[in-house]
């Protein structure tokens, strides 16, 4: 009689292999479809629209646009996923008895389906039996969509149409360099791509523009590959008027007499800067708000010498 010795590590390895082989309940594969478009930049241009090249008024609105050309390629992508129910040993405590019941029910359902000429749904006739055998298998859990996990199995990518696309958009909220003589200012466009220039406002208000005959506007993208430049010529009469208007608007007011206040308002109107004249007039009315007598004198002289009436 021969004596056989058992290798317990070998038995453990065999059981482990069985466990690993049967732990995942494979489910039907799932697919995802995606239509994707890839765009490769080809060209990028900036443009500065200044309108009339001669600036004879202190305010001008300039628009900056960017045009981009892309090579667009369409792709139809399909991703396939392997789905499975991960094994959890404790679930066997209820799946084994439920599996046995499901097998009995599935056999009975198939017998009844013969009588009913195949009218029972497949998830009853076959589904119960499949669930039952998975349930009584101690190394496999029954399928569960709620616990299902997945792994990416394959990606199928089919290239479709290839074309060129051109976009034209505002240079929105981006910096534009404005060169005025020796000074260079960084001004920003608004969200519609407009740059508003006002020679009577900052930063030009602090500069002597009498000898500045042009404004050079430069827009460039972040990496410096695209650049656009435009030049606005400043009319000689505009430079003279703006130089005088700067003093009328920004020189100290508090030490002036009422007659000098009125002269400033009147002269701004004569220079063609009516909006600035109205703003200065309103500022003086607010300045004299706490001195009713001084305010009455100002309004009186304003009507007499400048012909300007104030609604009170």
Angstrom CA distances, 265 to 86, 124, 232, 268, 305, stand at: 85, 94, 29, 5, 10
First to last CA, the chain: 129
Tokens matching residue 87? 């094994």
Q: Supply the CATH classification number for the domain 41-74+165-235.
A: 2.60.40
Angstrom CA distances, 47 to 133, 159, 172, 230, 277, stand at: 73, 35, 13, 9, 35
- Count of CA atoms in the C-beta half-sphere (13 A) of 23: 11
Angstrom CA distances, 307 to 89, 205, 265, 289, 301, stand at: 99, 28, 11, 21, 9
pLDDT score recorded for residue 66: 95
Mean pLDDT by 10 residues, the chain (312 residues): 45 45 70 93 94 93 95 94 84 78 81 78 76 78 80 91 94 95 94 94 88 94 88 94 90 82 90 89 87 87 80 66
Cis peptide before 26 (omega within 30 of 0): no
pTM of the model: 0.63
Q: What residues have CB less than 8 Å from 90, skipping those under 6 apart? A: none
pLDDT score recorded for residue 312: 61
Q: Determine the Cα–Cα distance for residues 2 and 171; give it in Å rounded to an integer.
A: 93
pLDDT score recorded for residue 79: 94
Domain extents in the chain: 24-36+77-154, 41-74+165-235, 251-305
pLDDT score recorded for residue 53: 95
pLDDT score recorded for residue 189: 96
């Amino acid at each position: 009689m021969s004596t056989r010795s058992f290798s317990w590590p070998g038995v453990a390895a065999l059981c482990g292999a069985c466990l690993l082989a049967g732990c995942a309940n494979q489910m039907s594969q799932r697919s995802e479809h995606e239509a994707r478009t890839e765009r490769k930049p080809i060209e990028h241009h900036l443009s500065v629209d200044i309108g009339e090249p001669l600036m004879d008024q202190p305010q001008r609105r300039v628009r900056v646009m960017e045009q981009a050309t892309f090579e667009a390629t369409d792709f139809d992508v399909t991703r396939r996923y392997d789905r499975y129910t991960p094994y959890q040993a404790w679930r066997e405590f209820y799946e084994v008895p439920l599996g046995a019941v499901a097998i009995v029910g599935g056999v009975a359902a198939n017998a009844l389906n013969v009588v009913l000429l195949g009218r029972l749904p497949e998830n009853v006739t076959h589904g119960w039996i499949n669930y039952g055998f998975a349930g009584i298998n101690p190394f496999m859990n029954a399928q569960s969509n709620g616990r299902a996990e997945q792994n990416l199995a394959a990606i199928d990518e089919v290239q479709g149409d290839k074309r060129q696309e051109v976009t034209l958009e505002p240079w929105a909220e981006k910096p534009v360099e404005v060169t005025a003589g020796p000074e260079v200012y960084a001004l920003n466009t608004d969200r519609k791509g407009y740059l508003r220039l006002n020679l009577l406002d900052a930063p030009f208000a602090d500069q002597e523009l009498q000898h500045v005959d042009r404004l050079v506007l430069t827009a460039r993208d972040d990496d410096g590959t695209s650049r656009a430049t435009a030049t606005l010529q400043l009319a000689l009469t505009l430079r003279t008027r703006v130089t005088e208007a700067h003093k009328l608007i920004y020189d100290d007011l508090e030490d002036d007499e009422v007659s000098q206040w009125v002269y400033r308002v009147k002269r701004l109107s004569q220079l063609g800067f009516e909006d600035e004249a109205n703003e200065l007039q309103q500022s003086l009315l607010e300045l004299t708000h706490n001195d009713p007598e001084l305010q009455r004198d100002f309004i009186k002289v304003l009507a007499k010498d400048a012909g300007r009436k104030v609604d009170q």
